Structure 1
Amino acid sequence: MEKANDMITNNNRVCWHALHTAPKSEHKLMQRLNAAGYTTFCPMQAMFVKWKGQAKEVIVPLFSGCLFVAGDASEITSLVSSQKAALLVDREGKSLSIEADKTELSAKFARLLE
């Protein structure tokens, strides 16, 4: 089984698959997938929230309940079903995959959501 770490060499573009999980569960899912040898990515953003009358900075996922995993779709499908997650699919029912490097992944995914 070829792991995503083997697929990323010399900053090549990688095939990323979008996964959906429960909001606030992204970090746990990333840890499990990383422990299984997969490369994951969850773009984060800083937000200010008011808490007890003060503004606090918190770091949250850019896309709530969504993260990306690099690798072969068939391997990922069997893995995510046991992780309380699902592959996002396009209009044709195929797994939503984006060929990109990490720097352009968020922008490409946002364009798909438009």
Structure 2
Amino acid sequence: MPIKKNKPIYLQLVDRIKSEVANGILSANDQLPSVREMALQERINPNTVAKAYKELEAEDVIKTAAGKGTFVTGNVDRFKENNRRQLFDQLSHTLSDLIQIGVDKKTIKEFLNGKLGNDDAENQ
């Protein structure tokens, strides 16, 4: 995991695991590496992994079964929907910010259509 200096490492790990769940890389009941194994894989302190896992458990993304391991919860669909909603909220705020700074709607539509692979906005 490439480490960014502007965000705590445990939150970077939390974000990565949540992203993997939201994108279907990790599914319900998939087992995560142990704290020690994850620390070795990521070359980070085991306490950092433990803190990330604790945060993910608090958010009901993972669960730890004593003696069995750490697993993605069965709440994957709810988590994906929450993630989707958050992304649309961010997009909405970004669009509002663009309009506030004077970017016209036509330019925004052209940009979005280009990103979506649709050059003809009238067909949508």
Q: Same fold per TM (> 0.5)? A: no
> RCO higher in 1 or 2 (8 Å CA, sep ≥ 6)?
1
Q: Which has the higher strand share?
A: 1
Higher helix share: 2
Structure 2 length-normalised TM: 0.23
